Amino acid sequence: MQLDPIKYNNGMLAALRTILSAEGAGVLSTGLGATATGYFVQGWFKFGGVEFFKVHLASAMSQEEAWNRRTSIYLASSAMAEVIADLFLCPLEAVRIRSVSDPAFPKGLAAGAARMLAGEGPLGFYAGLGPILFKQVPYTMAKFAVQGHVAAAAYEAMGSDPERESKGTNVAVSLGSGVVAGIAAAVISHPADTLLSKINKKGAGGDGSTASRLWNLAREIGFVKLCTTGLAARCVMVGTLTAGQFGIFDSVMAMVGAKRFHFHNPHKKEH
């Protein structure tokens, strides 16, 4: 829908029927290898990095100061972790988008990477780094900040905290808050995601620098379409995916005997 909004302009279900009718069910798995590998690697650095930076930023100040600045800590730690993660994601995302948008491009990850390297050199893998950062950094900042606050509100409503709840309850809170966080992050990052879907398409945005090509694409698409084309489908996908990410992360942490860092209100009385 983002790659060809003129063709797929009747909603998510109609677009799905058009794709299945024209290209078959197999096309839905195009780019799956690059997608799975890229987001696994990115998630590894992102979730681990957020915890790393969050702990170190909070430990550099008093408990009260950390509590008062928790939103800033969420935003800063997630931004730093995302930049690092995107350096690993960008080459795989470039291969994925090219395999989806160019019928003549190899569909496998290894073959696609070899084709890009031979044709465009190493820098070809990072042509979309600017748009990825533009999309992913605000996306991740919103995701972790919203999830943290929604989870805290859930525990507050229960009159409890993660340390006093069972593993199952904590995972359930992570899943619920993850859905809300995913939808919020999807809405915030959607314009950049639309541009990223197009910038790796050969010839998109004309010639010139990446910035000028992005500007040309934004003008061609228009602000409203940039913010809304494919948004419903992305909210469903990202909301579900984000809930799963937080649920899996908390489950793995519990399995290895580790705990996520949580901010504590120093003025709240312990029960």
C-alpha dist (Å) from residue 22 to 7, 19, 25, 226: 12, 5, 9, 26
Instruction: Answer yes or no: is 11 within a domain.
Output: no
Q: Does a structural domain hold residue 38?
A: yes
Query: pLDDT (tens digit, 0 to 9) for every residue of the chain, 271 residues total?
Result: 445 555 555 555 665 566 556 655 554 544 455 566 766 777 888 999 999 999 999 999 999 999 999 999 999 999 999 999 999 888 888 888 788 777 788 877 788 889 888 888 888 888 878 878 888 899 999 999 999 999 999 998 998 888 888 888 988 999 999 999 999 999 988 888 888 777 766 667 777 777 788 788 888 888 888 888 888 888 998 899 899 989 888 888 888 888 888 888 887 765 4
Q: How far apart are CA 105 and CA 118, in angstroms?
A: 13
**What's the total number of domains in the chain?**
1
Residue 65 resides in a domain: yes
Q: What is the CATH number of the domain that holds 251?
A: 1.50.40.10
- The angle subtended at Cα 17 by Cα 11 and Cα 18, nearest 5°, is 85
pLDDT at site 38: 66
Q: Looking at the domain assignment, is residue 22 inside a domain? A: no
Question: What tokens does 220 get?
Answer: 């061609």
* Residue 230 covered by a domain: yes
Report the sign of the C-alpha dihedral through residues 241, 246, 247, 252, in that order.
positive
- Domain span at 240: 30-255
Looking only at Cα atoms, what is the longest distance across the chain? 64
| Spatial distance between the Cα atoms of 191 and 28, rounded to a whole number of angstroms | 23
User: Residue 10 and residue 25: Cα distance in Å, rounded?
Assistant: 19
Contact in structure between 243 and 178 (CB atoms under 8 Å)? yes
5 in a structural domain:
no
- Alpha-helical runs (H) found in the chain: 12-23, 32-59, 63-68, 70-101, 109-120, 129-158, 167-199, 210-221, 223-228, 231-255
**Dihedral pair phi/psi, residue 259, rounded to 5°:** -135, 145
**What's the pLDDT at 7?**
56
Q: Report pLDDT for 202.
A: 64
Residue 99 lies in a domain: yes
Cβ 188 vs Cβ 139: under 8 Å: yes
Give me the pLDDT at residue 35, please: 61
The verdict on residue 82 lying in a domain is yes
Q: Give the C-alpha separation, 252 to 207, whole Å.
A: 46
With contact defined as beta carbons under 8 Å apart, do 92 and 41 qualify? yes
Q: What is the pLDDT of residue 17?
A: 63
